[in-house]
């Protein structure tokens, strides 16, 4: 993970995409085989709660603490620094519910659909960030290609949603005992 002193390059994002895609492939294959549709259906509340806590923690640690001065402070107003984590936690809890619901109502394997939708969320949120100037304003990201900044988050978010699913499954399994 780059620190605030190391500029991010397009090459870093392309190599990162490849690495995370390989990791995602293993994670997705295991979870698609391991989590049956009926089990996934029962994960609604563990997924919602885990999504909210996970994304609030990600935004607290990465957004508000580690990268605020070098990245996010350039695209968000300063007053938002400590409001974003809980707000995004709530927003992503609702999003976790939406992913769960859509995965069960769209054709195909629900867990695979959940991952594909989660990856799409990564790309969409980063398109929004690019629109807000994340590749022009912070010196750390100047020169990063929009394409690499839209591809990497797909795989990044598949990984994040996979972690959320594993934690939700763990909670579900412990509650069953």
**Cα–Cα dist 13/15, whole Å:** 5
**pTM as predicted:** 0.94
pLDDT average, residue stretch 34-47: 97
Domain ranges of the chain: 61-171
pLDDT at 65 over 90: yes
User: Is pLDDT above 60 for 4?
Assistant: no
What proportion of the chain, given as a percentage, has pLDDT over 70? 97
Q: How far is it, in rounded angstroms, from Cα 55 to Cα 161?
A: 10
With bands split at pLDDT 50, 70 and 90, how would you rate the model's confidence at 176?
confident
Q: Could you report the per-residue pLDDT of 107-123, keeping only the tens digit for each?
A: 999 999 999 999 999 99
Phi, psi of 67 (to 5 degrees): -120, 15
Q: In the structure encoding, which two tokens stand for residue 29, read together?
A: 């294959």
**Is pLDDT of 5 > 90?**
no
Helices (H), the chain: 10-34, 37-41, 44-58, 84-105, 110-131, 146-176
Pick left, alpha or beta for residue 118 (phi over 0 → left; psi -120 to 50 → alpha; otherwise beta). Answer: alpha
pLDDT band for 39, please (50, 70, 90 cuts). Answer: very high
Percentage of the chain beyond pLDDT 90 is 94
pLDDT at res. 177:
78
């Amino acid at each position: 993970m780059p620190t605030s002193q190391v500029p991010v390059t397009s090459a870093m994002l392309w190599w990162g995409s490849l690495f995370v895609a390989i990791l995602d492939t293993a994670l997705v294959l295991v979870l698609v085989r391991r989590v049956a549709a009926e089990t996934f259906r029962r994960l609604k509340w563990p997924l919602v709660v885990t999504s909210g806590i996970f994304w609030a923690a990600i935004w607290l640690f990465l957004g508000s603490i580690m990268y605020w001065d070098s990245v996010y402070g350039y695209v968000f107003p300063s007053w938002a620094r400590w409001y974003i984590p809980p707000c995004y936690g709530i927003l992503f809890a609702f999003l976790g519910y939406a992913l769960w619901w859509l995965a069960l109502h769209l054709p195909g394997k629900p867990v695979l659909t959940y991952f594909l939708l989660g990856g799409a969320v990564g790309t969409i949120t980063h398109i929004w960030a690019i629109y807000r100037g994340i590749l022009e304003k912070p010196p750390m990201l100047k020169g990063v290609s929009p394409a690499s900044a839209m591809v990497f988050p797909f795989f990044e978010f598949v990984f994040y949603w996979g972690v959320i699913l594993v934690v939700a499954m763990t909670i579900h399994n412990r509650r069953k005992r």
